[in-house]
Chains A and B, each alone.
Chain A
């Protein structure tokens, strides 16, 4: 009796576990196959002292910390697909937040120009 009950319980659980693993794998495959849009990047101007100061007091906490999962300062490859979305989208993600990225990137005083300069400093390319 107990064996039957255990078997009956195990079967749907096993099916669900399989479905779940399948979903996780599909999600992973889907993520891996998406090709980044093609864009031509222009090298950014050197960061000003004011931009570096803002970076060090705010963005650095995540964009200078690989364990945060955020694209790192100077990692052009990680930034390329983000820059390809265009300036409006990138700035909207900065101001409103996007996934793990908190709104304003913790820079409460930053203007639109500040955010543009910060992204260009971190990515090494002009925001277009």
Chain B
């Protein structure tokens, strides 16, 4: 039921006159707030109106909030997940007030950050200590706790996700207990919490194994997609970080390498966002999408004339990009050896069915790990993403691509759109049952489960949601 503010007040008032309880209470509460503030994710596709929104100043306040909450509690980071991990009509908690560097040890190259710290705010303080994150994703707006909870990653076959660099956590449980976890203290829970989807507790502090600060040299160029795929083993072997962005409906892709360098000369990134590049692709899609041959020729021609200057700087200034063109995204992680075949099939399907999208694909590599719910658990991986502009419907496009990922035993990125449920996950994750048992033991009433997570885990939250 959708009510305007005026209708809400009218209904609440009428029911108040007749002394109705039950549903009156919720309406009256909403009306009393007059203008309930919704929450939306970065793309705008996920939203909710939480009953309570809170930004605790410290762990004691957060523990108290969780202990007293009689409804679902979900933590939100930067709102950059495309899947409905966050929406709740219960309590929405942000760690914006628990942000920044707590401590750093240059000798062990370890650091501790508050969970609400965005990756943007990690590079400079680590550099001051002579350290850096070993790898980063292509944007740095995510919060640290959110990034590790969804196994967020960059590219490079020698590098795992952010979660693999976590050596310790502080978490607040559903009972409001503050617990420290690492390989010597509740190691099974620690390992599960490194990718926990916010279902085990709220992570307030993260200890990381960093490395010595380093500089990167980035090169980008346009080349035929098929040539890049043929050359993929060499490109991946000879570069620290390789990724490719095939341009839909064309024969070409943007290729990118990032390699460590000792060259002190800096070529700063001139990052003015993706607006100009994406608008060109959008324009071709608008005017030529019904003429596939002309569309392909135009795209092949236009992208070859876009300038992609080299960048050379401290690592964190090279990894991160400004993404000012909003979109929705689906990403699957498939066994690394199937990457070229899978992306070929996607590109072929897009052209044969003339699917309506102009955002390039993203094609990356990630090292396997041993975290139960990590998408990279037990296998080196090729990560392939499809995007759709936030203004366009993604359902039809993604629905035609998703079965291709299934064919290659793909696991969906937890923070991105997909349609899988618990039965499929049980088959995709060898340690699925182990995680479910850990989750059940630490949060038996399902305080941290929203509807999406109930479907994901195949469980129904308990009494805390009935209050």
Chain A contact residues, CB within 8 Å of chain B: 9, 12-13, 16-17, 19-20, 23-24, 57-58, 61, 65, 67-69, 95-97, 99-100, 102-104, 106-112
Query: Are A20 and B284 within 8 A (Cβ)?
Result: yes
**Across the interface, which residues of A come within 8 angstroms of B54, CB to CB?**
109
Query: Are A13 and B326 within 8 A (Cβ)?
Result: no
* Measured CA separation A60–B455 after assembly (Å): 37
Query: Are A95 and B38 within 8 A (Cβ)?
Result: yes
Query: Are B79 and A20 within 8 A (Cβ)?
Result: no
Map CB proximity to A onto B43-54 as digits: 1 under 8 Å, 0 otherwise.
010010000011
Judged by a CB distance under 8 angstroms, whether B273 is at the interface is yes
B443 to chain A minimum Cβ distance, whole angstroms, is 22
B209 to chain A minimum Cβ distance, whole angstroms, is 26
**Across the interface, which residues of B come within 8 angstroms of A67, CB to CB?**
270-273, 322
Query: Are B40 and A97 within 8 A (Cβ)?
Result: yes
Of the residues B42, B272, B301, contact of A13 by C-beta under 8 Å: B301
A21 to chain B minimum Cβ distance, whole angstroms, is 10
A111 to chain B minimum Cβ distance, whole angstroms, is 6
Q: Which residues B252-302 have CB closer than 8 A to chain A? A: 270-273, 275, 280, 283-284, 287-288, 291, 294, 297-298, 301-302
Query: Are A20 and B283 within 8 A (Cβ)?
Result: yes
Query: Are A109 and B96 within 8 A (Cβ)?
Result: yes
* Measured CA separation A106–B47 after assembly (Å): 14
* Measured CA separation A57–B141 after assembly (Å): 12
B324 to chain A minimum Cβ distance, whole angstroms, is 4
With A20-B284, A108-B96: A100-B326 Cβ-Cβ less than 8 Å: yes
Tally of B interface residues using CB under 8 Å:
44
Judged by a CB distance under 8 angstroms, whether B152 is at the interface is no
Chain B contact residues, CB within 8 Å of chain A: 35, 37-42, 44, 47, 53-55, 76, 78-79, 92, 94, 96-97, 99, 118, 120, 141, 270-273, 275, 280, 283-284, 287-288, 291, 294, 297-298, 301-302, 322, 324-326, 390
Query: Are A102 and B298 within 8 A (Cβ)?
Result: no
Known: A68-B322, A108-B96, A111-B37. 15 other contacts (CB 8 A): A13-B294, A13-B301, A57-B99, A61-B118, A61-B120, A65-B322, A67-B271, A68-B273, A97-B390, A100-B326, A102-B42, A108-B76, A109-B55, A110-B37, A112-B35
Query: Are B40 and A95 within 8 A (Cβ)?
Result: yes
Please give me the residue from chain B that is nearest to A9 by CB atom. Answer: B297
**Across the interface, which residues of A come within 8 angstroms of B291, CB to CB?**
16
B53 to chain A minimum Cβ distance, whole angstroms, is 6
**Across the interface, which residues of B come within 8 angstroms of A112, CB to CB?**
35, 37
* Measured CA separation A63–B377 after assembly (Å): 39
B202 to chain A minimum Cβ distance, whole angstroms, is 14
* Measured CA separation A58–B97 after assembly (Å): 11
**Across the interface, which residues of B come within 8 angstroms of A97, CB to CB?**
40, 42, 44, 326, 390
Of the residues B47, B55, B94, B298, contact of A20 by C-beta under 8 Å: B298
* Measured CA separation A58–B141 after assembly (Å): 10
**Across the interface, which residues of A come within 8 angstroms of B41, CB to CB?**
103
**Across the interface, which residues of A come within 8 angstroms of B273, CB to CB?**
67-69, 100
Query: Are B283 and A24 within 8 A (Cβ)?
Result: yes
Query: Are A16 and B288 within 8 A (Cβ)?
Result: yes
Q: Give the residue among A13, A58, A102 with the most B Cβ atoms within 10 A.
A: A102
**Across the interface, which residues of A come within 8 angstroms of B40, CB to CB?**
95-97, 103-104
**Across the interface, which residues of B come within 8 angstroms of A95, CB to CB?**
37-38, 40
